[in-house]
Amino acid sequence: MKKIRRFTFYFLLGLAVVLGGAVAGVWLGQDRIIALFVQEVNHYLRTPVKVGRMEVSLLDQFPRVSITLHEVRVSGSLAQDTVPLARVRRLYCAFDAWDLWRGHYRIRAVTLTDGQVYVGHDGQGRPNYDVIQYDTTSAPSDKPLAFGLENVQLARIHTTYHDQLRQQRYTVQVENMKAELDVNDMLVDIAAQGDTHVEALQMGSDAYFRDKALKIKTRLRVDRAARLVTIEPSELNIGRAAYGIAGKVSYQGATDLDVRLDGRNTDVQSVLALLPPRVANRLSAYRSRGDVYFGGTVRGTLAGENNPRLDFQFGCRNASFYHPDYRQAVEQVFLTGSFSNGTSRSARTSELDLRGVRGTLHGRPFSGSLRYTNFQDPSVALELNADLDVARALRFYPVAAIRGGSGTAQLKVSFAGKMKEFRASPATAAVQSTGELTLRGVQLRLRDYTQPFSNLNGNFVLRHNDVTIGSFTGRVGGSDFQMTGVLGNALGWLLLPRQQLLINANLESRLLNFNQLLSLRASTTSAATAAAAQPGGYGFRLPTSLALNLRAHAQRVRFRRFRGQELRGTFRMQNQVLSASLLTVAAAGGRASFRGTLDARQPSLLRLSSSTSCQQLPLDSLFYVFEDFGQQFITARHLRGTLTASAESDMYFSGSLDPLTDKLEAEVKMTVRNGELNNFAPLQKLSMIAGRERLRDLRFAQLTTPVYIQSRTVYLPEMEIRSNVKAASLVRVTGTHTFDQQMDYHLSIPILPGLLSRVVPGNSTAGPSLLLAIQGDEDNFRVSYDRARAQTARQPTTAPAATRKPGLLDGLLKPAASGAAATSTTLPTEPRKPFETKKQPEKKPAQPQTGEYFDF
């Protein structure tokens, strides 16, 4: 036992002496080792190398001794380079401890950590990595320090290859890569394996292998004399997929490739990674099960503008495809495909071909083919036949604008032609396109509408660029429709951005419920109208991509209290301007017609310019339907009679269809026949001229007058009303009424014999008419003797009429021809002209409107 302890003690002591000696030797000789290292590196490199600091250590690469370089920067071989060839935080060069005793150092291993490598060619094809020079003047055994690499290790090295001439950029993050080297004179055998992350392989405008984890296991033989790299059977792993790689790469002069790839355990992800992104992007989230295969070759010269020939074959047999987030799969899929960059090895001769495509979606079959040639000026030949369950199809491939659906659809379509020519002019492009779509019992819930589309049935036939609607029926909420016609530029609108759909159709409906049709959720309105629209409110938008020529007939129409029948008219729309040449509807016991234009180019400011007329509309029904026009002063319960009128107006609305009354301008010419004004409160205050019972039921045979609306004010020019009240059988009325319910009415009532002594005391010399004013608002108004008006009427005019500046509404608000009444001082003398394009009445004495007299 004592002997064992003694042996252990001496062994540890000897080991400590050896290690101590080694440490001392390293410490004492590190300056010489570093000097030899710098001298030897300078023999191999043509470009300057900057090092933050250098040190020799036994611990960094134990049990080997290492020369550690911190903050290393290696310049490239091009004079104009601003980006270094390599920048590494730490570089370890290790040699055996035995070399310390021999005095000849051989660098056996190199480790690089936390760095960036930028390799590339400039616009003339010159490389930036021509930095190594070979020293053949002395044998390696004669040198005190030489490189005999047996192991290379890379960790966290970001590598970029950029070829400006060929417009290619490869970006790879080397996470952990180890390589073993066996050097035999001019032959070097390399065995490497490790993990890398491909950020992107950019070729022109396309990025391949974007964000892919890649595992590499390879064996290479480098013949430095023949400048030939032989790739022995190696393997690349992308997820579950494994790709076998073998072949040769010659770099004697231009790089020449002869490489073969074979896929094993491949899936849709691994295949899509190799296709052009413009084809694969929208399918990148899908997964597959079953037999998916892939293989191909890369042959030819890679130099300057030359590319090697690419030929790949891929496909699947009895496979299924699914999206991990959706509960639906396409099953029993068969497909044969190929990709080649053609004889010119360029995008111009590239070709993607999918043949024999067939499968099922929830038991319903589909089939088709696709040929995509000339990626520079693409030509497409597509055939597709599908019998679809709409709900299942939307689960497998969701459409953002559709929240859900059901029903069945049968689709058959073919397309052949050049895409660039079709994009430039879809209407005249030399493409061949035919197809047919049949809908049966389809229900759709769209993202932007609260009302569902239900019971959609129809047949659509594609010819060239247009679609013929055979018969399309369905419902939108409670509204129904039946449509026939043509959808012009339908294919261009469907496939290309900023294309316009031209609808030329006939529309029949039993009911159009605009309470639902104009109902939009606030969250789906445009940014300009979202602030104004409220949940459950109204919204109105005209799409820029829609042109319309629609002949419509609806048996019934609803909007709020409005109930119309037999709506007929033609609607046209272009560039967000909707017009109706002649629109007629029966409503409220009469009939109305409408011509107008709605300009919706500013979503938050809709302008409606219209010409409207109506015949024999009951006044009480009219006021009820239009909700007493937003006031409570005179309502449907006060009025009787029939209205015949015409109106010219400019109206403005917000995006949620709220009227902007401050911008409203209108001119209305109306005739009321067999009129009644019942239980009207202001008349009850005229009991001085007639009894309350008589004034409670004021009737007149006919009233004809114009009305002007401007600046939220209704202007009434002087008019005569002949009523059934003998004490006030002829009443002249003029005045204004604002949208804030501020009234300023002026009445002129002829005083009958015997009445003057009762209403005008003493020996007054008042005229033959009693002048009254009704002023205030609908809740607080007063009726008073219009002294200011009477005084103005008695004063002579001080200036000749010819020199007086006329008011814009002068003549419209002028008192009676007898001179008994004059314009109230509270009325504006020169209000803003309602319609600048209309001629204003001439300045002359107003002629009272006359009508038939009821003799009670």
The pLDDT of residue 325 is above 70: yes
Residue 445 located in a structural domain? no
Q: Which residues of 650-670 are buried (b: 16+ CB within 10 A; e: fewer)?
A: ebbbbbbeeeeeeebbbbbee
Whose tokens are 């073993």? That residue is: 180
d(CA 506, CA 542): 19
Residue 557 located in a structural domain? yes
Residue range 109-114: mean pLDDT, rounded: 86
Residue 416 located in a structural domain? no
- Per-residue pLDDT tens for 644-678? 888 898 988 888 888 888 888 888 888 888 877 77
The pLDDT of residue 687 is above 70: no
Q: Report how many domains make up the chain.
A: 2
Q: What percent of the chain has pLDDT over 90?
A: 23
Q: Which class for 465: exposed (0-12), middle (13-18), buried (19 or more C-beta within 10 A)?
A: buried
d(CA 297, CA 247): 9
Residue 303 located in a structural domain? no
Is residue 510 within 8 Å of 567, Cβ to Cβ? no
Select from 717, 711, 703, 638 the least CA-distant residue to 674: 703
Which has more confidence, 506 or 207?
506
- Per-residue pLDDT tens for 239-260? 778 889 999 999 887 788 999 9
Q: Identify the domain boundary among 794, 814, 838.
A: 794
Quick one: pLDDT at residue 826? 31
Residue range 264-272: mean pLDDT, rounded: 74
Which has more confidence, 501 or 125?
501
Residue range 735-739: mean pLDDT, rounded: 85
Quick one: pLDDT at residue 44? 67
DSSP single-letter state for residue 166: T
Residue range 1-13: mean pLDDT, rounded: 60
Q: Identify the domain boundary among 134, 165, 196.
A: 165
DSSP, collapsed to helix, strand or coil, labels residue 851 as coil
Residue 48 located in a structural domain? yes
Is residue 825 within 8 Å of 792, Cβ to Cβ? yes
Residue range 98-102: mean pLDDT, rounded: 60
Determine the structural domain holding residue 30 and report its residue range.
Answer: 17-165
Q: Identify the domain boundary among 147, 165, 183.
A: 165
Residue 644 located in a structural domain? yes
Quick one: pLDDT at residue 757? 43
d(CA 188, CA 97): 25
Spell out the long-range contacts of 235-240 with Cβ–Cβ below 8 A and sequence spacing 24 or more.
238/212, 238/213, 238/214, 238/269, 238/270, 238/273, 239/213, 239/267, 239/269, 239/270, 240/265, 240/267
Select from 590, 459, 444, 567 the least CA-distant residue to 513: 567
Element holding 134 (H helix, E strand): none
Residue 844 located in a structural domain? no
pLDDT band for position 528 (cuts 50, 70, 90): very low
Residue 488 located in a structural domain? no
* pTM confidence score: 0.66
Quick one: pLDDT at residue 791? 74
Element holding 609 (H helix, E strand): strand 606-618
